[in-house]
Chains A and B, each alone.
Chain A
Amino acid sequence: MDNQQRYIRQMILPGFGLAAQGKLAKAKVLIVGIGALGCPALQYLVGAGVGQIGMVDPDAISESNLHRQLLYGQADIGKSKVAIAAGAMRLQNPAIKIKTYPVAIVRQNALDLMKGYDLVIDATDNFQAKYLLNDAAAILKIPLIYGAVTRYQGQVSVFHFPDQEGVSYNYRDLFPIEPADNIAGSCESLGVIGVLPGIIGCLQAAEAIKIITGIGRSLAGRLYTHDFLETSNYEIAILKNEEVKPLTREAFLITENQSSEYWEEIDVDEITVDAFLKLKTKEQVFVLDVRESEEYPAIDFSDAQIPMSELIQKLDLLPNKEICVICHQGIRSVYAAQLIQAKKGLKTYSLKGGITAYFNKLT
């Protein structure tokens, strides 16, 4: 470190000093999403002297970003977020090595993008990215600092990093199953006040600094929820979900093929509740429930339950007959039916509308 004067105010803090500053200088942090969470997290980590920072974001700056993404100005509309952010950060602290990746993070590139970083900040705005980062961080054993907002509330936690008892938690402990679509809504559809993701992004930067330097107690094992309107917070102790784990490397990569290769093109016979009942009385089909074990309601008309998250590993348990796959709403069951048809060569059906449609019909 050649410029100690720059960091003198934090280095004189109790428990910080030259040693902590040296750890920051050696650290490599990847920030995924350079929006309302990513901008403040980035700025504070650059300011604090984190040695290398990578930024992932495919988006261009739009006018409706400007009220909350304060790194960007009116003249930047239409330009690449990572390019503008990198320029600003190089001016702020020329000693920091800045890398930009103007791409969307997907299964095909996630492991390569994240490899080599000591820590990843989840500053994304959708479930698909959050589950992907969670599973990739589990595979690579990299601590992940989770942040998210919805309207006037925001959350922070630290995954894949041991708490004081030495236990690490992950996003699937909280929410085992990835929602089929962005059911909880985005800032675009639900609205957001700029300062809230600012608070959450700053908390994510704070967690990063604590983990890198080893000072204080991280949010590992705790889900911290901040309420803007009340200026209050609510902290929940996380417990392990023993049934659902992050995807293994194999499943992570197999599903990549699943979504990009031939499976999705397989036509699945989506059948109505009436057709399902008919098939069922003839005992022609084996009814497979692919919901995860904690999903409601319990049903008595399936022959087996193999959660979607385990299906790839458990295909051999299926009998050699026609399979009708069911799930909550008939979306996952299509994927499961495609997978079974592709891997086992069995005729498959998917119950259209899922168990929801079944109960609507019968009750």
Chain B
Amino acid sequence: MELLIFGSLTDIIGTDKLVLETPQDTELLKVSLLKQYPSLEQTHFFLALNKIMVQEKQPLQEGDVVALMPAFSGG
């Protein structure tokens, strides 16, 4: 699966795109991201699976694209 990183979250993850082993679901993806990048804890973001927001746990498949979208506040 592919992970797209938006906004200033790229500071934490160090890139705007990652190719990852596909976890079983979005919950496990989030847990592993938080473990690998603990500073994500301090940020507000949501996941979108194939351009649809994730509100409840969704299963992941090979080839899925998940976006990590933080809150933007500049203007």
Q: Which residues of A contact B (CB under 8 A)?
A: 33, 35-38, 123-127, 130, 147-151, 153-155, 173-175, 177, 179, 182-187, 190, 192, 197, 223, 225, 234-242, 296-297, 328-329, 356
Q: Which residues of B contact A (CB under 8 A)?
A: 4, 6-8, 30-31, 34, 41-44, 46, 48, 51-55, 67, 69-75
In the assembled complex, the CB of A140 is this many whole angstroms from the nearest CB of chain B, namely 21
A184 touches B70 (CB 8 A): yes
Considering the complex, give the chain B residue whose CB is closest to the CB of A222: B51
Which B residues are in CB contact (< 8 Å) with A153? Answer: 6-7, 72
If A150-B8, A183-B43, A240-B55 touch, whether A234 touches B74 (CB-CB below 8 Å) is no
In the assembled complex, the CB of A348 is this many whole angstroms from the nearest CB of chain B, namely 25
A147 touches B71 (CB 8 A): no
Which one of B7, B54, B55, B74 has the highest number of Cβ atoms from chain A below 10 Å of its Cβ? B74
Considering the complex, give the chain A residue whose CB is closest to the CB of B51: A236
Contact among B48, B55, B69 for A242, CB-based, below 8 A: B55
CB-based A-B contact count at 8 angstroms: 109
Instruction: Please list the 4 inter-chain residue pairs (A to B) with the smallest Cβ-Cβ separation, ordered nearest first.
Output: A125-B75, A148-B72, A187-B74, A150-B72
Give the docked Cα–Cα distance between A41 and B8 (Å). Answer: 25
Which B residues are in CB contact (< 8 Å) with A236? Answer: 48, 51-53, 67, 69
Which B residues are in CB contact (< 8 Å) with A240? Answer: 55
Contact among A36, A155, A237 for B51, CB-based, below 8 A: A237
Give the docked Cα–Cα distance between A187 and B74 (Å). Answer: 5
A and B contact pairs by CB, cutoff 8 A, 26 listed = A36-B75, A124-B75, A125-B73, A130-B73, A148-B71, A148-B75, A149-B74, A150-B8, A150-B72, A155-B72, A174-B46, A174-B71, A175-B44, A184-B74, A186-B74, A190-B8, A197-B74, A234-B4, A236-B69, A237-B48, A237-B53, A238-B53, A239-B55, A296-B34, A297-B34, A328-B41
Which A residues are in CB contact (< 8 Å) with B34? Answer: 296-297
Considering the complex, give the chain A residue whose CB is closest to the CB of B47: A236
